[in-house]
Amino acid sequence: MGDQEKHLAPGSCHRISAVCRPQCAGRGGHWRVNQRQRKTFLSVSLSLSLSTLPVKKKKKKIARLNIHPSLGVLIELEKRVRPSCTSKANCRTSVMQDKSRGSCKPRAARRGRSGYALWAELKLHFPASRASPTYFREPANKMAASVEHDSPSEVSEAAVEEEETKTFKDLGVTDVLCEACDQLGWTKPTKIQIEAIPLALQGRDIIGLAETGSGKTGAFALPILNALLETPQRLFALVLTPTRELAFQISEQFEALGSSIGVHCAVIVGGIDSMSQSLALAKKPHIVIATPGRLIDHLENTKGFNLRALKYLVMDEADRILNMDFETEVDKILKVIPRDRKTFLFSATMTKKVQKLQRAALKNPVKCAVSSKYQTVEKLQQYYIFIPSKFKDTYLVYILNELAGNSFMIFCSTCNNTQRTALLLRNLGFTAIPLHGQMSQSKRLGSLNKFKAKARSILLATDVASRGLDIPHVDVVVNFDIPTHSKDYIHRVGRTARAGRSGKAITFVTQYDVELFQRIEHLIGKKLPVFPTQDDEVMMLTERVAEAQRFARMELREHGEKKKRAREDVGDNDDTEGAMGVRNKVAGGKMKKRKGR
């Protein structure tokens, strides 16, 4: 019999008779539902027939019928034991034991033919609209199933509706946190929240995979706050993030959700005075949000700070955190936190490499996947333009003019190119601001805040800004330099079209980038269309752009020398906006003057 492999039409009710094989005897296990079934099931009626099995005498138990809590809504569990079974009353739902243990044994077995009988009828709902979790514990019960069609079910439609109208309260979130969600304008939970929150509240370790901008932060923050309310404790949870800006953002979200319950968070990231962080840790916050390196510094050097009582560990952007770059730090952290903790891994691009996941030391995790492994958002329009490398700047200016009035995030591959391009655009009168790893942390946050506050319409950034940052008003992402790691593409373009909004992403492909681009298309499983451009109009810009390039190079040099001369200078001049010439240009004068306009 095909093991739950039969195709089942949506909207119909099905009866599956499953026969439990002898080797499953005595062990617990979970039903595994295959991908197709998860997609098509609306309602399923399972009739499990565990009958007359050739069980060896020494086997004491037959089967354990476990329904994984995340599998679906268990509507009905009905058990019938064959009339031949003499001690119905003793027969437990899942286990039948032999006579010596004083419970039932069917006649067939008593006659010497080893065999037991148990019917269990289950009805499960698999609403079609629901993105079902895809990871279940490998079933110990190997069941062979036969599928019969039953009459179509109306209940299923109701179940779909129910799924859509689920509230945070239905997920088990406590009232005070539901109110906080309400205040943030979160009227209903997102798919990943529907999947992950109930499981997290049950105390399971979770691997959460969902597309960018789908509310993963809420999916781990709400269960942690819920648990914190139940058992208040200092240094309750640790959230590890790969970038500093993301750490601040997550802290803001925790504080917004937990404001009414007085949650205290500490952000522990590099590039910021350690002393103030030590003081913050001395106050024993409830939640610590940290980048791995600086957290290690504090664990090693800050007196009185330890995470020995930690209850929750979250790795946001987990595939990045579990990457080789953070290997030593993460291993060190895992050694000094209790093994008896809950662990949540979340990302839009989760690694499947078992070795990497093992490093997170998860215990019997559930994978909540509401997107395929490398999926971009439906409302995101993605394009590419194929151009000669030397005209990249000109095409960028053309696109910025074409899509004027929008908010842009432009990704470059190096700090130097980010800085140079920001200068170039400023020279042409665009309100552009850079964000990269060679800027001081205060300047990085300054840039981000100006962009968030819409005081600047263009943020030029390295991949330091590609993951996690939630800036709702970003309309267009431009991959000025194509990402070398295809996964970064998904995160970069995910800075737009967030939380159900729409957005555009345009990737520049030069003669050197063709292979990288093909890899990206392969990863996302899509062929991207070309972004339409008028080449003659682009070429009309070359002269102006060339002039702005010259000024940008000069300013970059000037800026570098100035920095060398006055490293300790605390003025606002270690990002490009501080460079004198540029400031004038932003004010609208210098370039025009030079051009005589």
Ligand X SMILES: Nc1ncnc2c1ncn2[C@@H]1O[C@H](COP(=O)(O)OP(=O)(O)OP(=O)(O)O)[C@@H](O)[C@H]1O
Return residues touching ligand X (CB under 6 A): 186, 189-190, 193, 210, 212-218, 348, 468, 470, 472, 494, 498-499
343/347 with CB nearer ligand X: 347
Cβ count within 10 A of residue 185:
6
CB of 155 to ligand X, least distance (A): 26
Q: CA 479, 481, 482: angle at the middle one, nearest 5?
A: 70
What are the C-alpha distances in Å from 558 to residues 423, 434, 564, 580? Answer: 12, 17, 10, 10
Query: In the complex with ligand X, which residue's Cβ is closer, 81 or 225?
Result: 225
Q: How far apart are CA 198 and CA 240, in angstroms?
A: 22
Residue 305 and residue 279 in contact, taking contact as beta carbons nearer than 8 Å: no
Q: What is the nearest approach in angstroms of ligand X to the Cβ of residue 418?
A: 20
- Name the residue nearer to ligand X (CB basis): 216 or 443: 216
Rounded to the nearest whole angstrom, what is the least distance from the CB of residue 485 to ligand X in the complex? 16
Asked if 479 contacts 452 with a C-beta cutoff of 8 angstroms, the reply is: no
Smallest distance, ligand X to C-beta of residue 176, A: 16
> How far is 330 from 290, CA to CA, in rounded Å?
11
Q: Name the token pair of 132.
A: 């079902």
Cα–Cα distance measured from residue 103 to residue 279, given in angstroms and rounded to the nearest whole number = 63
- Name the minimum Å distance from CB 214 to ligand X: 4
Return d(Cα 84, Cα 103) in angstroms, integer.
Answer: 13
CB of 498 to ligand X, least distance (A): 5
Closest CA to 220 of 236, 247, 239: 239
Question: What secondary structure letter does DSSP report for 435?
Answer: E
Segment (H or E) for 78: strand 73-80
> Quick one: 129 or 358, whose CB is closer to ligand X?
129
**Smaller CB separation from ligand X, 120 or 348:** 348
How far apart, in Å, are the Cα atoms of 465 and each of 16, 322, 462, 519, 588? 50, 18, 6, 22, 28
Q: How far is the CB of 494 from ligand X (least distance, A)?
A: 5
Q: Which is nearer to ligand X, 221 or 227 (CB)?
A: 221
CA 409, CA 596: separation in Å to the nearest integer? 31
Min dist CB 380 to ligand X, Å, is 12
Smaller CB separation from ligand X, 468 or 483: 468
Which CB atom, from 223 or from 468, has the smaller least distance to ligand X?
468
Q: How far is the CB of 169 from ligand X (least distance, A)?
A: 13
Find the shortest distance in angstroms from Cβ 170 to ligand X.
13
Q: How many CB atoms lie within 10 A of CB 471?
A: 17
Q: Which residue has the tokens 């200016």?
A: 397
In the bound complex, which residue of the shown chain has the CB atom lying closest to ligand X?
A: 215
Q: What is the CA radius of gyration of the chain?
A: 29
Minimum CB separation of residue 167 from ligand X in Å reads 10
Q: How far is the CB of 364 from ligand X (least distance, A)?
A: 24
At position 196, the amino acid (one-letter code) is A
434 versus 468: smaller Cβ distance to ligand X: 468
Least distance from ligand X to the Cβ atom of residue 512, Å: 28
Residue type, 93: T
| C-beta closer to ligand X: residue 407 or 427 | 407
Rounded CA-CA distance 259/268 in Å is 20
Closest to ligand X by CB, 252 vs 297, is 252
Per DSSP bridges, beta strands 458-461 and 408-411 are parallel
H helix intervals, 6-53: 35-40
Nearer to ligand X, 32 or 216 (CB): 216
Q: Which is nearer to ligand X, 388 or 472 (CB)?
A: 472
Distance CA 325, CA 356 (A): 12
- CB within 8 A of 446, min separation 6: which ones? 575
How far does Cα 377 stand from its chain's mean position? 13
Helix axes 514-524, 486-493, angle to 10 degrees: 70
Residue identified by tokens 């009582």 is 309
What distance in Å separates the CA atoms of residue 554 and residue 561, rounded to the nearest whole number? 11
